[in-house]
Amino acid sequence: MRLLPILLFLVATLSVNSLSQAEETLSDSVVSKAKPLLKAFSMIGTPYKFGSNNPAKGLDCSGFVKYIYKETADVSLPRSARDMSREGQAVAREELEPGDLVFFNTRKRPNTHVGIYAGNGEFVHASSTRTKQVTVSRMDQKYWATRFNGARRVLPASSPIQ
């Protein structure tokens, strides 16, 4: 199950009864990263609609990401995937964390598709092909692997657990 690693991480982090100030900060960081992902997973099956950022009517990839981050983290992202690719901090593929934005070249130019990295090599996105809905895909699938353009972190990085 895709949510299991996230939920286990949350439970392990949040189940401690007495938290020091540092642990509370870590807890806040974990919760702030989990909210967008949990919301994204809850929207799987939402129809794809080009140019829309209204879940009642359907969503395109950037509309989906913009909606998720505004609703769950009060982060205002630009409307297009290309403009989103300039936000936050660049992240190397091997440094990806759940909640990072991942970008792909799907229209013969960079950063024309965006999704939310879910961990374990998967990302959540509004797909205009095959499923035509919000779905989860693997980044190592040939289609996505050959089109990966980079990633950005728009939420604070997780603190290492001591």
* DSSP character at residue 94: G
Q: What are phi and psi of 56, to 5 degrees?
A: -70, -25
**Ranges of H-type helices in 74-159:** 81-84, 142-145
113, 116, 123, 124: which one is catalytic?
113
Largest CA distance in the chain: 52
Q: Give catalytic status of residue 113 as yes or no.
A: yes
**What single-letter amino acid sits at 43?**
M
34, 43, 61, 68: which one is catalytic?
61
The residue written with tokens 């794809």 in the block is 48
Residue 118: exposed, middle, or buried by beta-carbon count in 10 A (0-12, 13-18, 19+)?
buried
Q: Give catalytic status of residue 11 as yes or no.
A: no
Q: Give catalytic status of residue 61 as yes or no.
A: yes
Distance set, CA 101 to CA 21, 24, 65, 156 (Å): 29, 25, 8, 13
Q: Which residues, other chains included, contact 121 with Cβ-Cβ below 8 Å and sequence gap of 6+? A: 138, 139, 140
List active site positions: 61, 113, 125
